[in-house]
Structure 1
Amino acid sequence: MTVVLYVDAIGGAAGDMLLAALLDAGAAEAAVSEAIGSVVPAARISTETVGRGGLRASFLRVAGLEAPGSGGGRMRGIDELLEALEAGTGLPTPVAVMARSILHRIGEAESRVHGGGPGSSLHAIGDPDTLVDVVGVAAALHSLGVERMLVSSLPIGAGGSVGEGHGGHAVPLPAPATLELLLGFAVRPGGTDETVTPTAAAIIATIGEPIEGFPAMTIRSVGYGAGARAPAERPNVVRVVLGDAVEERGPEDPEGGPSRLLCVLEANLDDLSPELVADSVSALLAAGALDAWTTPIQMKKGRPGWTISVICEPGAESRISRELFLTTSTFGVRSHHVTRSELSRRIATVRLEGGAVRVKIGTLGDRVVSATPEHDDVAAVAANTGRPVRAVYEEATAAVRALILAGATP
């Protein structure tokens, strides 16, 4: 099943509010703290329970950014933020890819709004707080195993102003960069204060998908993140709901297997190095693609090239297309919709000498037609017992098939 996160912007959204809500929903604080510490070593995060408009919520506190040598001074451009991110060691690849994509999105929006290159000044978002929020949210999403992020309509404050922007002038609300980032997302009136920050808008634009109404899911957990202000007119919180998607499916296959409506995206490349092609595949998978692969082809003038192909949910088509444009040299992306017939699947666990092995079981109607052990589990048991991986694989397969033949439910 696809793990989804629904972001319900009750009172708005900021980077720290999103991070607090994800921690409240069960993201591993130790993993998030470690990821943040790898790029902003002096930063220390903690949460406290507060009340906002009658709702209990978590409020994020960040300490250490103003300490000498902490890097707490203002960073004046996207390039410096990216350099700090690249200097971090130990970040899981999906976290680094996600954080890098968010920062690039911020830079592109600022460049379009204010002119100049993508390394131009980032007024309200050009400081270490941005890195804490971006890396923290990426690490929290990775910790929770989120595959899709769905976003409600967003309350947008208008008519006021905030801070100092380019040329020392106050930034009118909605902030121009925020509006640029939220193209394609539904918004609603939200008073005169800043209710959605540029950092939150960048996170939402990079990872999120707009949705009308509450998504169909089996709920796992709920988290609330609080903003610093406590306005009387609304609870200043963002709510996140984590769950397993109840997937849209096509008609039943005549043989008894369900079918699924999916989108296939493709692009041809002849001027990208193999290393960058591999990076693009990793980025596409991190962005929520169900699968991504390359096929060698011959292009015009006899040039060797690649077709990069991606399968994704129909609702993720725009986001995955955007990721293809950002991570490859293509000038166009082809798309078509397909119906994929699938086996019904479930996970069983068999216990062997040396440990447990999960086995993915596929059924067609009432008949089991596939039983595939998880390779990581097989390798772990092989390492524990000193046996060949293949021998453990065959034993796990035989064990689950024996249970099936005996009429037991594995």
Structure 2
Amino acid sequence: MRGLYLEPFSGISGDMLIGALLDLGLDFDQFKAELAKLNVTGYHLVAEKTAASNIYGTSFDVLLDQGTKDTGFHEAHQHDHHHHARHLSDILALIDASDLKPQVKTNAKAIFNEIGRAEGYVHHVPMSEVHFHEVGALDSIVDIVGCCVAIDLLGIETIKSAPLSDGQGFINVAHGQMPVPVPAVAQMLVDSQVPFKQREDVQTELVTPTGMGFVKTMVSEFGRLTTANHIKKVGYGFGKRQTGSFNALRVMLFENAVSSQTVRTTNDQVTLIETNLDNQTGEGLGFAMQQLLAAGALDVFLTPIQMKKNRPAQKLSVLVTPSQVDAMAQKLFQLTTAKGLRYQTLNRKIMQRHFETIATAYGPLKIKIAQYGAVIKRTPEYDDCAQIASQRGLSLEAVYRTVQQAIQQHFEEEIK
């Protein structure tokens, strides 16, 4: 599973996040082409490799063809001469009518709805009567949709984050001064699980409504990376404000390290944790499985069962290393309706495992080689093949066939 880890030690905004994702290796031309499916004009994008404190990263910006960037909330009956201000319904309709991928549309609309609820509450007007200058102006629409496009293009399946850091003091907007955190950000913190702190050394805004909306909507877990999260790349996206300190968002691209480890033994032990659930939705169970795997579980699976009084239920089974039991128990109680768990330690016979890179029609590709005595199995990794299929518009089966042919040819030549 491919994941993204956010380190918002200097806050988070839309342009910082996109800059950081470009710094990870997101193809800028592909990003622009996909974002063009939003079917709006009047802007162009700039990305520049630059340095701060002798650390290199990427600065991203949305430049408007006409006018200047705008900030600040306006009610519907005010400032109608600002033609670029839009109602929330206008923005959602724009996204629905676009040619963006369905998941990109879903994520972008969720972020806009989250910010819309906060702005409506702060200013005591229905969401339908809110004009968004900060999140409705063209540059901010591009930022929010662009974040969702970038996440999709990088194939990111789960997002974790360290605690958010904001500044303090006041900032000047269209209607005067606003306290930091700005009201919309403060409102989004209500009844949330987002860990949040303010830095005494920074007298300005670090967390924007766009950044907070993304975090609250898209981040599924807060805390530190674990040993199961194998870091593949690190990227930096620079902010525009002068904060008096290093102003950047650091992100880390990681993969679940369990499937990519070399295994030299044929015997080990695992712990099986189980619980019976008869009062949790399918969506909730699916979400729990995803998060448990992201946290380092070796495997997670469901078994249909019948409980007392003939109630249909699901038995949730989680395989972990013995050292993970306490941490996984905590996650299970957090993510499911379970009030009790049972577990046992099991002995396993496993195949030794290592990885080799071979040449294929799609370029170099890592394959898994498993061995137990004279038995040898050589297989491509699903995630790699799925990414190739998505990028090239092919079926997964077609990619598997081509890679399997390359594997057979490679090892036949090696034997010769």
CA contact (8 A) 1:265 1:333 kept: no
CA contact (8 A) 2:162 2:223 kept: yes
1:221 partnered with 2:233: yes
Gaps of 5+ in 1: 325-331
Structure 1 residue 9: deviation in Å?
A: 2.4
Structure 1 residue 194: deviation in Å?
A: 0.6
Deviates more, 1:340-349 or 1:32-41: 340-349
Structure 1 residue 15: deviation in Å?
A: 0.8
Measure, in 1, the Cα distance between the counterparts of 2:46 and 2:242: 20
Aligned to 2:134, the other structure's residue is in SS state helix
Deviates more, 1:391-400 or 1:182-191: 391-400
100, 109, 117: which one aligns with 2:109: 100
The letter of the residue matching 2:47 is T
Indicate the residue corresponding to 2:70 in structure 1: none
TM-score using structure 1 length: 0.64
Q: Deviations over 1:320-346 (max 9, x none)?
A: 999x9xxxxxxx955879899887766
Q: 1:219 to 1:140 in 2, by over 3 A?
A: same
How many residue pairs align between the two structures?
373
Query: Which structure 2 residues correspond to residues 320-335 of structure 1 after superposition, within 5 A?
Result: none
Q: 1:362 to 1:63 in 2, by over 3 A?
A: same
Indicate the residue corresponding to 2:183 in structure 1: 176
Structure 1 residue 106: deviation in Å?
A: 2.6
Query: Which structure 2 residues correspond to residues 213-252 of structure 1 after superposition, within 5 A?
Result: 218-231=230-243, 233-246=244-257
184, 204, 214: which one aligns with 2:215: 204
Deviates more, 1:200-209 or 1:371-380: 371-380
Measure, in 2, the Cα distance between the counterparts of 1:292 and 1:379: 25
Aligned to 2:86, the other structure's residue is in SS state coil
TM-score using structure 2 length: 0.63
Measure, in 1, the Cα distance between the counterparts of 2:249 and 2:236: 6
CA contact (8 A) 1:14 1:200 kept: yes
CA contact (8 A) 1:185 1:210 kept: yes
Indicate the residue corresponding to 1:80 in structure 2: 90
Indicate the residue corresponding to 1:39 in structure 2: 38
Indicate the residue corresponding to 1:327 in structure 2: none
Gaps of 5+ in 2: 68-81
Aligned to 2:18, the other structure's residue is in SS state helix
Q: CA RMSD in A?
A: 5.7
Aligned to 1:187, the other structure's residue is in SS state strand
Q: Deviations over 1:110-145 (max 9, x none)?
A: 455555555452453233333312222222223333
Q: 1:395 to 1:131 in 2, by over 3 A?
A: same
Q: 1:355 to 1:25 in 2, by over 3 A?
A: closer
Q: 1:54 to 1:151 in 2, by over 3 A?
A: same
Structure 1 residue 29: deviation in Å?
A: 1.2
CA contact (8 A) 1:158 1:192 kept: yes
Q: Deviations over 1:309-362 (max 9, x none)?
A: 89899999999999x9xxxxxxx955879899887766667889x889979657
Deviates more, 1:255-264 or 1:233-242: 255-264
Q: Deviations over 1:76-108 (max 9, x none)?
A: 32x3322222122142x4433433333333334
Structure 1 residue 234: deviation in Å?
A: 0.3
Aligned to 1:223, the other structure's residue is in SS state strand
The letter of the residue matching 1:211 is G
Measure, in 1, the Cα distance between the counterparts of 2:103 and 2:26: 15
Query: Which structure 2 residues correspond to residues 323-362 of structure 1 after superposition, within 5 A?
Result: 361=368
Aligned to 2:45, the other structure's residue is in SS state strand
Q: 1:247 to 1:103 in 2, by over 3 A?
A: farther
Q: Quote the sequence identity (%).
A: 23
Q: Deviations over 1:149-205 (max 9, x none)?
A: 3323322122314425xxx56432112332324643242415221111111112122
The letter of the residue matching 1:60 is F
Q: 1:348 to 1:204 in 2, by over 3 A?
A: same
1:128 partnered with 2:138: yes
Structure 1 residue 39: deviation in Å?
A: 1.4
Q: Deviations over 1:349-382 (max 9, x none)?
A: 7889x889979657476675765567969999xx
Indicate the residue corresponding to 1:328 in structure 2: none
CA contact (8 A) 1:157 1:174 kept: yes
CA contact (8 A) 1:98 1:286 kept: no
The letter of the residue matching 1:128 is L
Q: 1:281 to 1:349 in 2, by over 3 A?
A: same
Aligned to 2:204, the other structure's residue is in SS state coil
Aligned to 1:6, the other structure's residue is in SS state strand
